[in-house]
Amino acid sequence: MGRLRRVVDAVRWYVGSLMGDHDYRRYVEHMARTHPREPVLSESDYWRGRYADQDRRPGARCC
Amino acid sequence: MAVTDERADDPNITYLRTDPDLPPVAIVDRSPMTVGKRILFAVIGLIGAVAWAIIALVRGESVNAVWFVLAAVCTYIVAYRFYARLIEMKVVKPRDDHATPAEILDNSRDYMPTDRRVLFGHHFAAIAGAGPLVGPVLAAQMGYLPGTIWIIIGAVLAGCVQDYLVLSISTRRRGRSLGQMARDELGAVGGTAAIVAVFVIMIILIAVLALVVVNALAESPWGVFSIAMTIPIALFMGVYLRFFRPGRVSEVSAIGVVLLLAAIVAGRYVGESSWGNDWFSLSPVALSWAIIIYGVAAAILPVWLLLAPRDYLSTFMKVGTIALLAVGILLVQPVMQAPAVSEFAWNGQGPAFAGALFPFLFITIACGALSGFHSLIASGTTPKLLAKEGQARIIGYGGMLTESFVAIMALITACILDQHLYFAMNAPASVTGGDAAGAAEYVNGLGLDGAPVTPEYFEQAAEGVEEASIVSKTGGAPTLAMGMAETLQQAIGGESLRSFWYHFAIMFEALFILTTVDAGTRVARFMLSDGLGNLPGARRFKDPSWRPGAWLCTVIVCAAWGSILLMGVTDPLGGINTLFPLFGIANQLLAAVALTVVTVVLFKRGQFRWAWIPGVPLVWDLIVTMSASWQKIFSDNPSIGYWAQHRDFVNARDQGLTTFKTATSSDEIDAVVRNTFIQGTLSIIFASLVLIVAVVGAYLCVKAVRSGGLPTTEDEPVPSRIFGPRGLLTTPTERRVQKEWDEFLHDHPPGSPPEPATTGGEKGAP
């Protein structure tokens, strides 16, 4: 059971990291570490900012 | 800058620290290979050699697909362990005690050190697209052997080298893009030629990929319905993420995938109903207009609404379907129906694309072995997420090996199909007449192995996947879907699921081609407005938030690829047949630009002895692309040379003919005259731009040799303050250091400076 659980957790961690589920948590930690006095964006605003960045500077996709 | 910290436990291992208060940030491991590992690699090499021998030498009976998988995987492992390691030691010389741009400029958005396994997934999802699936399918007309050799050997010696080296030099330049690096390293002329080349190549790429979609979906109500449904599904996902559950990306993607599968299932009933047939049976021209309008709308809508959710869906489907296909091939173990080498390899008269093995096989396979487009991802995007220089090998070289493996699976999928079926699907309508009777007559005249087929055979094949017809469904995607359906129905579900798997495969290709159309239009628009902004009085174009400028550039870009798309769709000679070589040449020319930049950087650094590593693929690629361009421009054979064809049709027009070769009206003759003119002109532009880049590159190399090296634009190193293992698997030494970091971070929680970042390592991973 313990082994199966570990595999399931690993898959969840991987898929979550790949898709970006943990990005906001990382951002909060990042702000606490590097700019502790600055205000931290809400999760919704953080993602708005990221998509706005992509609007401004598009990234390529391959053939 | 780094302080070394030798420990008594192993003299072969050095620990590097950049700050005495922090655990080591890098490990230099000089341990020799253990006996066990030597034996392991010898065994892998031996299995690979046996597999290669069977593929290459067995004749007269069918070869099992498993040998291809074995030959590929064993070659990849040996190449990664030895050749990539040689490149790492002699050329790249990664320094894990130096911080990467991701660490220095970390903003938790576009720059952030990312776990290498996660970044591998990101990078692979960005480089893998329809190219490595379509190219090998078309190349299968020459038999399985030439394609297999080039996909595997080409990847190992050319494609992976390009991706790895571009990634590593961009990492030392704050993640600059290929265009910027070309300008910095090659100067104004070479740089400008490179940027214009990237733009033109992007346009042709979008047009040809869109053509593949049109060919797959025309007159197929099931396919059109399910792909149309992806738009509302993506909009729903975008709104859900924006307003209901921001950041729950895998949750919304899982919902999206379920809806997508439901759309494929529902498509069957829509396709069978009379209203569904009325609404969703679109002619190729109507479908092209739909895609052009979609392209304009998608590129104008904000990213969060359509592009980002589609991208999530594509990633899910891409990784999932490729894994499914691999499992299917291993379970079913199909055998090859194609010959090892067909006569089309030598006589150059193949129906899928014209021209002999050299150079056109290399042009056609393109992305599966060497893809210029990867250099746009390996610079600009991936370096901004790379935690450690040493991880570039697994991301750059390893990522391309995976893509090559995808190409091998696509080749297998095409070669296990009955050859009569393969050629009936891939020959243009101008030779098959577009119906089952004409197709049977045509393929029976090809002298293929096996009994001749009847028209009913193709009708049954079409019924099996619930399509009106499968004759002349060119472009590679339908053939791949047919092969996937053949394999997967044997593995899962049997005959009753065949049509589902076919449409599943079509949907999966169309989905990420449409994502590429959207993303590519945005990139091209960005490049166009950036270029226009340099003109006097047009500075405003540089501002991406100036909407009229963005709209105007979107329309220009879509008009450019849209007109090439319409040209291909209405071409009396068969659009894929004439346009795919242009796409392949464009892609390989972009690779030449990337390899030139890399080679020049090596010469400037004074690494003359090892410059052959990118130099050999560069010279080979130039020989291939230049001889292909030469033939396309100067060949007297009208089926190969654009201008020879052009002259023939101009003569026909001047003589007042109304039917000539495959053209059946004076309008069609005019169309060929126009199309060949545009295609011929594009060939000349591509080849000239790349020749400029190559000549500038050669000049700089000579200059560098004369002065014993030249200054490059590499950034000054900054000491790193994070740790991260190098390979996909963590070594015991790396695990010990990681444990030190975990304990250190536990004792020094974030908040009080000076603190190191926490990612790049295993933290958060179970």
Question: CA-CA distances (angstroms) from residue B58 to B63, B437, B510?
Answer: 7, 35, 37
Rounded distance between C-alpha atoms, residue A6 and residue A17, angstroms: 16
How confident is residue B764, by pLDDT bands cut at 50, 70 and 90? very low
Q: Which of A10, A26, A61 sits opposite B108 (nearest CB)?
A: A26
Residues B520-537 have a mean pLDDT of: 91
Residues B295-306 have a mean pLDDT of: 94
Q: The dihedral of CA B710, B711, B713, B716: what is its sign? A: positive
| CA atoms lying within 13 Å on the CB side of residue B161 | 30
Q: Would the CB atoms of A46 and B247 count as touching at under 8 Å?
A: yes
Look at residue B130 and tell me whether its pLDDT is greater than 50. yes
Residues B308-328 have a mean pLDDT of: 91
Question: CA-CA distances (angstroms) from residue A54 to A58, B97, B314, B526, B556?
Answer: 5, 31, 17, 11, 21
What is the per-residue pLDDT for B330? 94
What is the per-residue pLDDT for B600? 97
Helix B357-365 vs helix B612-634: crossing angle, to nearest 10: 110
Look at residue B750 and tell me whether its pLDDT is greater than 80. no
Residues B580-585 have a mean pLDDT of: 92
Residues B561-589 have a mean pLDDT of: 91
Residues B334-348 have a mean pLDDT of: 94
Q: Does B758 touch chain A (CB under 8 A)?
A: yes
Question: CA-CA distances (angstroms) from residue B739 to A22, B2, B5, B742?
Answer: 22, 21, 17, 5
Question: CA-CA distances (angstroms) from residue B522 to B400, B540, B545, B575, B647?
Answer: 25, 18, 13, 25, 37
Q: Which of A13, A16, A61 sits opposite B515 (nearest CB)?
A: A61
Which tokens in the block code for residue B369?
């072995």
Helix (H) or strand (E) holding B377: helix B374-378
Q: Does A18 touch chain B (CB under 8 A)?
A: yes
Q: Does B442 touch chain A (CB under 8 A)?
A: no
Whether B513 contacts B212, CB under 8 Å:
yes
Rg of chain A taking only CA atoms, in angstroms: 16
Q: Would the CB atoms of A21 and B520 count as touching at under 8 Å?
A: no
Rounded distance between C-alpha atoms, residue B192 and residue B187, angstroms: 8
Residues B610-627 have a mean pLDDT of: 97
How confident is residue B763, by pLDDT bands cut at 50, 70 and 90? very low
Q: Would the CB atoms of A57 and B122 count as touching at under 8 Å?
A: no
pTM over 0.80: yes
Prior bond of B359 cis (ω within 30°): yes
Identity of the residue numbered B93: K
Look at residue B668 and tell me whether its pLDDT is greater than 70. yes
Angle at B174 between CA B533 and CA B159, to 5 degrees: 95
What is the per-residue pLDDT for B2? 53
Q: Å from B118 to nearest chain A CA?
A: 5
Identity of the residue numbered B239: V
Q: Does A10 touch chain B (CB under 8 A)?
A: yes
Name, in order, each residue with C-beta under 8 angstroms of B121's C-beta and a sequence gap of 6 or more: A14, A18, B319
Name, in order, each residue with C-beta under 8 angstroms of B438's C-beta and a sequence gap of 6 or more: B432, B471
Identity of the residue numbered B278: D
- How many other C-beta atoms lie within 10 A of the C-beta of residue B633? 17
Residue B283's φ and ψ, nearest 5 degrees, are: -75, 160
Identity of the residue numbered B263: A
Q: Would the CB atoms of B249 and A19 count as touching at under 8 Å?
A: yes
Whether B765 contacts A15, CB under 8 Å:
no
Q: What is the pLDDT of residues A37-55, one digit of tens each?
A: 999 999 999 999 999 999 8
What is the per-residue pLDDT for B481? 96
Average pLDDT of every residue of chain B: 93
Mean pLDDT lowest for which of B495-499, B549-553, B660-664? B660-664
Cβ contacts (< 8 Å) between B251 and chain A: which residues? 21
What is the per-residue pLDDT for B766? 38
DSSP B667-716: HHHHHHHHHHHHHHHHHHHHHHHHHHHHHHHHHHHHHHHHTT-----PPP
Q: What is the pLDDT of residues B144-197, one digit of tens each?
A: 999 999 999 999 999 999 999 999 999 999 999 999 999 999 999 988 988 898
Q: Which of B247, B583, B587 sits opposite A47 (nearest CB)?
A: B247
Q: Would the CB atoms of B241 and A27 count as touching at under 8 Å?
A: no
What is the per-residue pLDDT for B3? 56
Whether B571 contacts B675, CB under 8 Å:
yes
What is the per-residue pLDDT for B303? 94
Q: Does B205 touch chain A (CB under 8 A)?
A: yes
What is the per-residue pLDDT for B493? 84
Residues B709-729 have a mean pLDDT of: 94
3-state secondary structure B520-554: HHHHHHHHHHHHHCCCCCCHHHHCCCCHHHHHHHH
What is the per-residue pLDDT for B761? 43
Residues B471-490 have a mean pLDDT of: 95
Name, in order, each residue with C-beta under 8 angstroms of A45's C-beta and a sequence gap of 6 or more: none
**What is the ipTM metric for this complex?**
0.96
Cβ contacts (< 8 Å) between A33 and chain B: which residues? 750-751, 753, 755, 757-758
Angle at B525 between CA B521 and CA B527, to 5 degrees: 120
Cβ contacts (< 8 Å) between A21 and chain B: which residues? 247-251
Angle at B104 between CA B101 and CA B109, to 5 degrees: 75
Whether B514 contacts B319, CB under 8 Å:
no
What is the per-residue pLDDT for B4? 61
Q: What is the pLDDT of residues B234-261, one digit of tens each?
A: 999 999 999 999 999 999 999 999 999 9
Q: Å from A30 to nearest chain B CA?
A: 7
Q: Which of B246, B251, B377 sits opposite A47 (nearest CB)?
A: B246
Residues A20-44 have a mean pLDDT of: 93
How confident is residue A2, by pLDDT bands cut at 50, 70 and 90? confident
Shortest CA distance from A45: residue in chain B: B246
Cβ contacts (< 8 Å) between B311 and chain A: which residues? 61
Q: The dihedral of CA B136, B138, B143, B147: what is its sign? A: negative
| CA atoms lying within 13 Å on the CB side of residue B359 | 21
Whether B673 contacts B654, CB under 8 Å:
no
Which tokens in the block code for residue B375?
């250099």
DSSP B317-344: HHHHHHHHHHHHHHHH--B--S-SS-TH
